[in-house]
A and B are shown apart, each in its own frame.
Chain A
């Protein structure tokens, strides 16, 4: 199903999500969180033109839980990077939270990325010389927040991720699951609207994988828009909305009533 029934989808979500949002205003403002229109991304590899993304049209409402699946090279990571403003489309328009972000300057894009988007990577990408707490504080440091406020937020995030006792440990002293939890804390500490996870369990054993997925889902339940790129069918099936990509295009976009597999 190439074009999803968005009206129906939104109604469904509204019914569920109003339970989690205090104010209806807030929900309406964030309704159309992501809107991609005719997005195209071409790479030049040697003298060959590679179409990493072809004609992508996608709308994501606030609070959705979406999995993006597909074989390697199908463009799912490129799509995620595009949404995360790490990559620029060759053509098309991208509206994030009602704002056209394709035309922003580097500085404005960086600012938008910092305030609205959180990233979780397969390889965690923690700074090895910094402690867990320092890693989590990094986006706040970049935002110029003062130390007192920062420490408070970091402490909160640590408690939320249940790793408060690991605050002063460096990444090499943490298990994979703990590392990913630090990474999630870092991605969400500033309070973004969208969380983008690229193979978040790809580098974890199944037990820690489940743990991490449950944390992500909990965050989604609390209102965070969650996009997960994965190879893992089981993980993909946990999402209510599943996008399947092939050759840079969205091949299927399905909506499941039940969240659990």
Chain B
């Protein structure tokens, strides 16, 4: 029997039992489509997070007090290392390198911010004018923090968009006074609405000069030092320099943790990839279920078409040919299902993409390969049993039935 004829015969058989074929196609295509949509969602989440991290600022190095590696189950203090605070002088010292472009110290606290009788408890961030460069945020109106000496406390504030809206409404806020804690600040700038970032909700924050924040929260220690290096390649050298400088300043003890954006990114990347794979695995189960459905339906098809198979035997089809015919039918069914699933998957992705344009949707290449592979594989695998059953039919009994 020629391949073309076999395919034609199988196709005719599929066309002959329309409802069954359509239902099978539906099951198979939903399986394939769900694999594609779910993996593309997972991938989108991964890319989204990765891009968010990229927006943290390029070549970012974060210095935090305390050595996280030594904290075996508790505070590092218990293990003998005294944690020294990071101070403004530390920050100034580490910024004195040609490798480092910008340095922004960070103090974060919470304080009530009020205008007349309106009051909100918000995050207050103490930093310098460089913060804008390090984090690559956008300023909406006015100016950011003044470019003065780092240890000079001036009572000016920059407000996040939402905070400004809540305190001033549509009125002009520039040049007005706000009360933060027990001091009065003049508003010099408003952050633009797009200025969102991962760890800080820029919309809902008030920025003040770092020295002012030290007074406000009565502390000398910095929450973080943010550094941006001149280039990506200089990150390792910059880290080396920061470690050495701080070790010298901290009596030879290395008591800071340095995080690079890359490390954070890599971790998130790993987590999200695992997530995508998990989701894809779950979707693959639905494909396998579709495969089992195919087996069921082919079994029913075989018993439905007992006489036909008996007839084929009487007309001189050997067992192998009958196995091939049934498998051809299943393969045709699953490949059509896979094709339909691809279409449905693309459609689903574009529908999601329409409602959530921010998500960079698109299934990875391996999802396509896996979906189609599993579809065809299960189709073939699960048609083996029905095909063998058909081949072993006793033609005499098969033809004795009406």
- Do A87 and B396 touch (CB < 8 A)? yes
**In this assembly, does B316 line the interface, its C-beta being within 8 Å of a C-beta of chain A?**
yes
* A121/B399 contact (C-beta < 8 A), A129-B16, A139-B315, A186-B315 known: yes
**In this assembly, does B152 line the interface, its C-beta being within 8 Å of a C-beta of chain A?**
no
- Do B316 and A127 touch (CB < 8 A)? no
Which of A107, A121, A130 is B318 in contact with, Cβ under 8 Å? A107
**In this assembly, does A146 line the interface, its C-beta being within 8 Å of a C-beta of chain B?**
yes
- In the complex, A134→B11 CA distance in Å? 14
**In this assembly, does A89 line the interface, its C-beta being within 8 Å of a C-beta of chain B?**
no
- Residues of A near B307 (CB, < 8 A) are 125
Instruction: Tell me the nearest residue of chain B to A198, going by C-beta.
Output: B399
- Do B316 and A115 touch (CB < 8 A)? yes
- Do A114 and B316 touch (CB < 8 A)? yes
**In this assembly, does A8 line the interface, its C-beta being within 8 Å of a C-beta of chain B?**
no
Which of B15, B312, B314, B317 is A129 in contact with, Cβ under 8 Å? B15
Which of A113, A121, A123 is B316 in contact with, Cβ under 8 Å? A113
Q: Using a CB-CB cutoff of 8 Å, which residues 356-402 of chain B contact chain A?
A: 395-396, 399, 402
- In the complex, A113→B317 CA distance in Å? 9
Interface size in chain B (residues, C-beta < 8 A)? 26
Can you list, as one digit per residue, whether each of A119-144 has a CB less than 8 Å from chain B (1) or not (0)?
10101010111100010001101111
**In this assembly, does B292 line the interface, its C-beta being within 8 Å of a C-beta of chain A?**
no
- Do A141 and B9 touch (CB < 8 A)? yes
Q: Using a CB-CB cutoff of 8 Å, which residues 1-41 of chain B contact chain A?
A: 1-2, 5, 9, 12-13, 15-16
- Do B395 and A86 touch (CB < 8 A)? yes
**In this assembly, does B116 line the interface, its C-beta being within 8 Å of a C-beta of chain A?**
no
**In this assembly, does B183 line the interface, its C-beta being within 8 Å of a C-beta of chain A?**
no
**In this assembly, does B320 line the interface, its C-beta being within 8 Å of a C-beta of chain A?**
yes
Instruction: Tell me the nearest residue of chain B to A116, going by C-beta.
Output: B316
**In this assembly, does B308 line the interface, its C-beta being within 8 Å of a C-beta of chain A?**
yes
**In this assembly, does A47 line the interface, its C-beta being within 8 Å of a C-beta of chain B?**
no
- Residues of A near B320 (CB, < 8 A) are 107
- Do B317 and A110 touch (CB < 8 A)? yes
- In the complex, A245→B312 CA distance in Å? 29
- Residues of B near A125 (CB, < 8 A) are 307-308, 310-311, 314, 399
Which of B2, B310, B317, B395 is A146 in contact with, Cβ under 8 Å? B2
Which of B2, B310, B318 is A110 in contact with, Cβ under 8 Å? B318
Instruction: Tell me the nearest residue of chain A to B317, going by C-beta.
Output: A142
- In the complex, A121→B2 CA distance in Å? 27
**In this assembly, does A25 line the interface, its C-beta being within 8 Å of a C-beta of chain B?**
no
**In this assembly, does B114 line the interface, its C-beta being within 8 Å of a C-beta of chain A?**
no
Which of B2, B9, B314 is A119 in contact with, Cβ under 8 Å? B314
- Do B396 and A111 touch (CB < 8 A)? no
- Do A142 and B12 touch (CB < 8 A)? no
- Do B318 and A111 touch (CB < 8 A)? yes
Which of B311, B315, B318 is A106 in contact with, Cβ under 8 Å? B318
Can you list, as one digit per residue, whether each of A94-113 has a CB less than 8 Å from chain B (1) or not (0)?
00000000000011011111
Can you list, as one digit per residue, whether each of B307-350 has a CB less than 8 Å from chain A (1) or not (0)?
11011111111111100000000000000000000000000000
- Residues of B near A106 (CB, < 8 A) are 318-319
Q: How large is the interface on A (under 10, 10 to 19, 20 to 34, 35 or more residues)?
A: 20 to 34
Interface centre among B314, B317, B319 (most CB of A within 10 A): B314
- Do B396 and A81 touch (CB < 8 A)? yes
* A142/B16 contact (C-beta < 8 A), A81-B396, A125-B311, A127-B308 known: no
- Do B2 and A144 touch (CB < 8 A)? yes
Q: How far is the CB of A231 from chain B (nearest CB, A)?
A: 15
- Residues of A near B2 (CB, < 8 A) are 141, 144, 146
**In this assembly, does A248 line the interface, its C-beta being within 8 Å of a C-beta of chain B?**
no
Q: How far is the CB of B6 from chain A (nearest CB, A)?
A: 9
- Residues of B near A139 (CB, < 8 A) are 315-316
Can you list, as one digit per residue, whether each of B51-70 has a CB less than 8 Å from chain A (1) or not (0)?
00000000000000000000
- Do A86 and B313 touch (CB < 8 A)? yes
- Residues of A near B314 (CB, < 8 A) are 84, 86, 113, 119, 125
* A127/B311 contact (C-beta < 8 A), A110-B317, A111-B316, A142-B1 known: yes
- Residues of B near A107 (CB, < 8 A) are 318-320
- In the complex, A119→B307 CA distance in Å? 14
- In the complex, A110→B318 CA distance in Å? 5
- Residues of B near A115 (CB, < 8 A) are 316
- In the complex, A117→B315 CA distance in Å? 8
- Do B396 and A141 touch (CB < 8 A)? no
- In the complex, A78→B395 CA distance in Å? 12
- Residues of A near B312 (CB, < 8 A) are 138, 142
Which of B9, B316, B399 is A143 in contact with, Cβ under 8 Å? B316
- Residues of B near A111 (CB, < 8 A) are 316, 318
Can you list, as one digit per residue, whether each of B283-317 has a CB less than 8 Å from chain A (1) or not (0)?
00000000000000000000000011011111111
- In the complex, A138→B312 CA distance in Å? 8
- Do A138 and B1 touch (CB < 8 A)? no
- Do B316 and A110 touch (CB < 8 A)? yes
Q: How far is the CB of A123 from chain B (nearest CB, A)?
A: 5
- In the complex, A143→B318 CA distance in Å? 11
Instruction: Tell me the nearest residue of chain B to A125, going by C-beta.
Output: B311
Q: How far is the CB of A132 from chain B (nearest CB, A)?
A: 14
* A142/B315 contact (C-beta < 8 A), A86-B396, A125-B399 known: yes
Q: A125-B308, A138-B312 are in contact. List 15 more A-B contacts (CB 8 A).
A: A106-B318, A106-B319, A110-B321, A114-B315, A115-B316, A117-B316, A119-B314, A125-B310, A125-B314, A129-B15, A141-B2, A142-B1, A142-B312, A142-B316, A143-B316
Can you name 6 A-B pairs with beta carbons within 8 Å?
A84-B314, A106-B318, A115-B316, A117-B316, A139-B315, A144-B1
Ranked 6 nearest A-B pairs via Cβ: A114-B316, A129-B16, A110-B318, A107-B318, A113-B316, A139-B315
